[in-house]
Amino acid sequence: MPAALRRIDVHQHVTPPFYGALLAQAGIAEAGGRALPDWNPGAALESMDLLGTATAMVSVSTPGTGFLTDPAEAAGLARRLNDFSAALAADHPGRFGWFATLPMPDAEAAVNEARRALLSLGADGVTLLANTQGVYLGAPGQDALWRCLDEHGAVVFVHPAELPAPAIKDIPPFAADFLLDTTRAAYLLVRGGIVRDHPNIRFVLSHGGGFVPYASHRMAVTIANDTGRCPLDVLEDFRSFYFDTALSSSPAALPTLLGFARPGHVLFGSDWPFAPTAAGQYFTAGLDTHVDPDTLTAVSRTNAEALFPRLAARPPAAPARPLTARLRRSVHRAGARLAFKLVQPGAD
């Protein structure tokens, strides 16, 4: 990777020790079928340096605060998580940004915490799970939240959660259900007119948008039939999303994603630490190998700079680790073997 091209990772997770302890107390030992990983800033920075990442936008993965049934407890945990992430970014200038956790499905509490995080703590955006306790983004009663996020021109990182239905034996939720969960949320955000009515919100869909690029025309026709809207307008609403490449920069997925997304709307993502380092190496090497240099520069950094202008003028925070073409191919092959082995229990 060229020395001047330093990645901005929009899909990296943080699991503070106190959060892991609360999940353990609730009997939650995994997310999406993968055991909750250990996390510390040093390990995060080591992984970032390995992938050539200058800055990572960290977020809290599923279940977020959704495992708490008391709205006051959920709101309190969101505040604690956001204070932690703000401190992490302050302690490592230029290396970490962060997306605030919002205590959904309580839209009023989510509005209050969004304002606090964006205005007082300096969050780079907010995280919303596709569904929380079975309530999807785009459900009735969320209008105040969308107005607030639109008013602040917020970046909204949409991350999947487990489907509100029993998992299928031998199919860990991360493998397929997560992709469907993201797709469901995107569908409802488009069908309900939320994307079109709140143009200042920049929605980022995890994992290449789930099935959105692949099924976009089919979904657009369905929504057009239901609502009487022009299918081309609906399709443009789907194309207005941003998409990250976490676990998605394969030679099969990349052409569809890049062919569908608007220019500037594909962003680099690693999914660390839920995706093990070997998986990150495999998919990153796939991105480095299968796109042209201009596209690589855009996906790896400059597209994200447009979303987060504060990063555009910042010099590289760590030395680059360029890969030769031969080494990229070698890493890709070795990473594939390790990734497929390590990811077997599940990933984010």
State how far the Cα of 339 lies from the Cα of 72, in Å rounded to an integer: 40
State how far the Cα of 124 lies from the Cα of 176, in Å rounded to an integer: 29
Average pLDDT over residues 48-75: 97
pLDDT in tens, 101-158: 999 999 999 999 999 999 999 999 999 999 999 999 999 999 999 999 999 999 999 9
Of 2-11, 95-104, 279-288, where does the model show the most confidence? 95-104
pLDDT in tens, 224-256: 999 999 999 999 999 999 999 999 999 999 999
Question: Are the C-beta atoms of residues 333 and 122 closer than 8 Å to each other?
Answer: no
State how far the Cα of 30 lies from the Cα of 36, in Å rounded to an integer: 5
Residue ranges per domain, the chain? 7-342
What is the per-residue pLDDT for 89? 98
Residues in the chain: 348
Token digits for 334?
């070795």
What is the per-residue pLDDT for 121? 98
CA atoms within 13 A on the CB side of 40: 2
With bands split at pLDDT 50, 70 and 90, how would you rate the model's confidence at 5? low
What's the per-residue H, E or C state across 62-99? CCCCCCCCCHHHHHHHHHHHHHHHHHHHHHCCCCEEEE
User: CATH classification of 7-342, choosing from 3.40.50.1820, 3.40.50.300, 3.20.20.140, 3.40.1160.10?
Assistant: 3.20.20.140
- 1 has pLDDT over 50: no
C-alpha closest to that of 282 among 247, 324, 253, 257: 247
- 327 has pLDDT over 80: no
Q: What is the mean pLDDT of the chain?
A: 90
- 65 has pLDDT over 80: yes
